[in-house]
Every structure is written in C-alpha cells, then in structure tokens.
A = this chain, B = another copy of it.
Amino acid sequence: MTPYTYDYPRPALTVDIVIFTLRDNCLQALLIKRGSEPYKDMWALPGGFVRMDETLEEAACREMQEETGLKQAYLEQLYTYGNPQRDPRGRVVTVAYFALIQADVDIRREGGTDVSQAGWFPIGYLPPLAFDHAEILTYAIRRLRYKLEYSAVGFQLLPDQFTLSELQFTYEIILGEKLDKRNFRRRILEAGVIEPTSDVRSGEGRPARLYRYRPDAIAEAKARRLFP
C-alpha cells in the first residue's frame, strides 16, 4: 500500500541508460567520461536526475537525446538498482534502461551542463566503469542477447531498410556465433515481422532485396514452454 505521509528522507532518483549500437562490425555501448569526483576521469553510463514532472521513460529519453541528439530509438526498462552504498556521496537509486539505436546514425552531443567526453566502446573492450555501472552493463548485454532470441528486436539496430544479410550479420555479432543462412532467412520471414520492399541495393555481386520492419507486426513470439 502506498503510504500516507511523506515526511521521510528521500533517496535521489536517477536514470542510467545503456545505449547500444553497431559500429565497425561490433556491438558497442556509449560511455561518458566523468568530469568530477567521485570516480573523476572514469567512464560511466549516460544518465541523470529524474525531474518531478516527467515519467521515468521520458527521463531516459531526454537523457539519451542530450547525449546522442537522437530521439527515435528502442527503449526498455532494465532494472532498478538501489544498494545504499552504490554512490559514495549518498543514497542514489537508479532506474536503468537499455536503448538500441540505428547503426548509421552519427551522434552529436548537444551542449549540456557537463562538457564531458563521450565515446563508443566495443562490449568486449570496456574500460573500468564508475559506480555499479559494470554490473548494469553486463546485465544489459545479457538481456539484449536473451531478448534477441525470442523477440525480433534486432531491426532496431539497423536503418529503416536493410538486407537479410545485414540482419543476419547483426544477429551473428550480438549472439557471437555463425548462423545458417537458409535457416535464418526462413525463420525470420515466417515470423512475419519484416516485409520486402520494392527496392534493391546494388553493390558487389548480385543486388540484394531490401526489407523493412512491419510496425503492425507482433514483435514478440511466444516462447515454447519448457515447464512443465
């Protein structure tokens, strides 16, 4: 039951966002270099305070936009971290989100109050992170991999139109394994979440048909049950 009174000390509330993208054929996360203590000069997840008049998702969206200039992205709440010792300055509870942004988007940082440095890091080569952000990022990667296996979230990392080979590469990069071309194509098409366009992309070799995400599709398949 939500309580009757409010005369308690309150933790500070922030959002932190794990922003993934594909760059240079690998999965990368956006990090910000801290400009002040504690953890000065260490890398950390982008994030900030939740304002009093916005939802948590709006706060995450806003912070992401401030860091990347990007509004359109897949955004999902991940977990809320509330260990009293996670921030040495005092009690800070953070709602973590993860976001997927399209591979071809160039981020530009809009001038914020903090002029800290931002950079993309391949998830296999992450620097030491401030606070409990390493734990958050590890969990985000696990959730992304898992989600990829039973939902069709992979498109979110690609431009609006893409070839089936590009989509397969995306899956292979994130899952870290080779996939069979024919099985991949059959299953992804049977799932009905993408549809062919009338365009093709020419390059070396035979031109490839371009596909797009079907916004009306049910992106999440029902996993076959294991129990009982």
A residues in contact (CB < 8 Å) with B: 1-4, 6, 8-14, 16, 32, 34-36, 44-56, 59, 77, 79-80, 82-84, 87, 89-95, 114, 116, 130-131, 148-152, 154, 168, 171, 179, 183-184, 187-188, 191, 221, 223-228
Contact = CB atoms under 8 A, between A and B. Distances in A.
Contact of A54 (B46, B84, B94): B84
Nearest to A168: B228
A210 to B, nearest CB: 18
Contacts of A187: 226-228
Contacts of A130: 1-2
Contacts of A2: 14, 16, 44, 47, 87, 92, 94, 130-131
Contacts of A225: 149-150
Nearest to A185: B228
Contacts of A226: 149-150, 187, 191, 221, 223-224
Given A225-B150, A226-B149, A10 B12 contact: yes
A228 B184 contact: yes
Nearest to A56: B82
B77 A1 contact: no
Contacts of A9: 52
A114 B4 contact: yes
A13 B14 contact: no
A153 to B, nearest CB: 9
Nearest to A96: B80
A104 to B, nearest CB: 22
A126 to B, nearest CB: 15
Nearest to A54: B84
A227 B4 contact: no
Contacts of A84: 52-55
Contacts of A95: 80, 82, 93
Given A11-B13, A52-B91, A168-B228, A44 B1 contact: yes
